[in-house]
Amino acid sequence: MSSLPDFDLSRNKSLRILEVPASSISCKSSDGSPDPASRFLKHVLSTITSTAFFEIIVLYWDCDFRGVTWHTGQPHFRELPQAVRTEEASRNHRRFEVLREMHKVRDFQLVLSATVPGCMGEYLMRMLEEAVAEEKAKKGFDDFFPEPLVLYNAQRTRPGG
């Protein structure tokens, strides 16, 4: 087995935050073996020695949300069929599972950050909060893996941009 020798954050003594795109933590091995993303992130976490480290931010972009399409520069939200919603819920649950596993390696504050254009922020924030609420209903959070913070980081374009 590879020992992942090259990726080592042990020398970075001022590291505070690790940010990970949400899309990258939901991939699943086709052969049913442990998730490679989970293995990678757990390895990275285990190499961190910085005392300032306290936060992992999972970055959500608009492309991470099903049911959002762009037409002539404007977002359109469509109601998802039940099957797709179930699939989404399952994907979210898998993400939380990966993060829970990571939490066992090292303690951190989990933050879910929706980094999306301002016009769709409210809708996507609600979707994220619903995902957290669903996980909470499944008793996915406890004292060892507390409920994450949900943030909305509006992307706005200046005039002329």
Partner 1 sequence: MPPKKTPTSSLSGAHAVYFLSPHLTTITATGIELLTKRVWYRTLARVRRICSGGVSPETSRTHSSPATRLPQEIVAIIIAYLTFDTRSLRACTLTCYSWYIAAVPHLHHTLSISTDPWGQGFQWPDPIRYMHMLGLLPLVKKFQVRGGSFIRVGLSPKLFNCRILRQFLALSNVQELDLEQLDIPDFVPRIQRYFGHFSHTVRSLALREPRGSRRQIIYFIGLFQHLQDLKLIYDRAELQEEPADDLTLIPPFSPPLGGWLTVMHFTRVGLLKDMIDLFGGIRFRYMHLLDVDGMPLLLDACTKTLEIVVLDPTDPRGEQISFPCKLRPTISQLCPPCLTLIYHGTSRSGY
| Binding region for partner 1 (CB under 8 A) | 1-2, 4-9, 11-21, 23-25, 27-31, 33-34, 36-37, 39-41, 43-44, 52, 59, 61-63, 115, 117-118, 155-161
Residue whose CB is less far from partner 1, 103 or 137:
103
Name residue, tokens 């819920």. Answer: 89
Residue 150 near residue 125 (C-beta atoms within 8 A): yes
Shortest CB 3 distance to partner 1, Å: 9
Residue 58 near residue 113 (C-beta atoms within 8 A): yes
Residues 6+ away with beta carbon under 8 Å from 64: 21, 22, 23
Shortest CB 60 distance to partner 1, Å: 11
Shortest CB 37 distance to partner 1, Å: 4
Residue whose CB is less far from partner 1, 92 or 115:
115
The strand ranges marked E within 7-156 are 17-21, 55-60, 68-71, 74-77, 109-117, 149-155
Shortest CB 118 distance to partner 1, Å: 8
Residue whose CB is less far from partner 1, 117 or 140:
117
Q: Which of 99, 121, 83 lies closest to 45 in space, CA to CA?
A: 99
